[in-house]
Structure 1
């Protein structure tokens, strides 16, 4: 990141578009503001409860009955979905998961959120914080890592990377749709609204709403055309696809990816990636923005 000095914070005067809703972009927007940037918000994706709640309920029944040795929670949105499912049962997320079940997640941010909910996390990568990073750490079946099946609640748009990688280690894997990723805005009657016990470090938690102006797609495109946006942040592969569908022109801005899967999706769409956040934290994202703008 460009050092602070007489000119002030590293991103002073820069305008950065975050493609998340205000309630999910708080920590990220505040980190950028602390670095001197002006955060702008354009929600492009949202999250709803699963189309088949009975399938999720059945999987959670089996979880409670001890049929799974591992529960993999691969995103903070999954935490929201499971907490909401637990509340419908009149219980908490911590009570939903038997103590003998081992819990895995994809990095320190989601670990902190799960621990704030009262869950012990047994496995989480600290380097490559992604499905790929978790698969690299996953123990072979029968290697003293417990028994039983592995339950992976996930989005309807989840890539098969995690399930296939765990299965390749010899584990029987069951996936279930816990929530739907949809274009913003979600149906108000179906939108995930569970409030987490702690705000996620990457800005996907229930902190105060993000500072910054919320733009419509038309307004965002007007700002892009006028050259008044310096960088656009894509938080997920699905957000990358919506950015590609919604925003024009993108050739004069830096595209910042949160994680390698998002970077790969941007490239597959023919978009240049200015930088990839080394860690999916507010500070990591601000550093990636600065790195792309000052290289």
Structure 2
């Protein structure tokens, strides 16, 4: 008898490395397909070391920007939390918005209650920079980002003539895993990475030699981080969403 679509991961243990506040939806989706899920956060999102003052300053002069560009849901959450604290959320009403992919776009749209202006076909920072329109002389783009953000978006926009104001909205740290959790992770059939920072965090937690299961990534940038860490990638999600990740895990498991 063919395996049910909702049990196609039965008997397999899958590690989810997202931050604890972001792991539940993916973990639930994997369990619905029969997987045993180990949530082992490789990253935690905390305020930037500068205390958030540069972010406050940018939000207070938001009308000066033509665009705001988001490369992660964490940046969206941190930016709008700070905007609410400063009472300036309404200033996003007229600014054009760009998001690196559909998941980030959905988070932006939930915050501003209108469609995002730009989502690139290629869902990474370089693709977002390349999808921007040509700037006018007085155009400025506001980029709230991780303190450890890669330079592709900012450098790409500046290379095309954009004025860019990039500020740290948050930073990533690596939590410590319990010995019991490390043991569960080490024996898993698959591990899922949704960001380069999760790859680096996971490696520092358990070491590359302890990753024995199939590696599944949300996109090409994360896959590149795995290659840098000498991890062989079994599958990359066709779409940078929870459903895309689950499909990639299933495909890797039955390949």
TM-score, length basis structure 1? 0.79
| Greater CA drift, 77-86 or 132-141 | 132-141
Of Structure 1 and Structure 2, which has the larger fraction of its residues in helix?
2
Q: 2:163 — aligned with what?
A: 172
Is this contact kept in 2: 1:231–1:256, CA < 8 A?
A: yes
- 1:276 corresponds to 2:211: no
1:112, distance to aligned residue in structure 2 (A): 1.6
Q: 1:42 — aligned with what?
A: 40
SS at match of 1:274: strand
Given the superposition, is the C-alpha separation of residues 224 and 76 from structure 1 closer, same or farther in structure 2, using an over 3 Å criterion?
A: closer
C-alpha RMSD over aligned residues: 2.2
SS at match of 2:61: helix
Q: 2:144 — aligned with what?
A: 153
1:131, distance to aligned residue in structure 2 (A): 1.2
Gap runs ≥5 in structure 2: none
Distance in 1 between residues matched to 2:204 and 2:70, nearest whole Å = 29
Distance in 1 between residues matched to 2:26 and 2:5, nearest whole Å = 23
SS at match of 2:7: coil
Higher relative contact order (CA 8 A, sep 6+): 1
Distance in 1 between residues matched to 2:17 and 2:102, nearest whole Å = 22
Gap runs ≥5 in structure 1: 186-215
Distance in 2 between residues matched to 1:266 and 1:178, nearest whole Å = 25
The count of aligned residue pairs is 252
Is this contact kept in 2: 1:19–1:43, CA < 8 A?
A: yes
1:265 corresponds to which of 225, 231, 237: 225
Is this contact kept in 2: 1:42–1:217, CA < 8 A?
A: no
Q: 1:77 — aligned with what?
A: 74
Distance in 1 between residues matched to 2:44 and 2:185, nearest whole Å = 23
Given the superposition, is the C-alpha separation of residues 105 and 47 from structure 1 closer, same or farther in structure 2, using an over 3 Å criterion?
A: same
- 1:113 corresponds to 2:107: yes
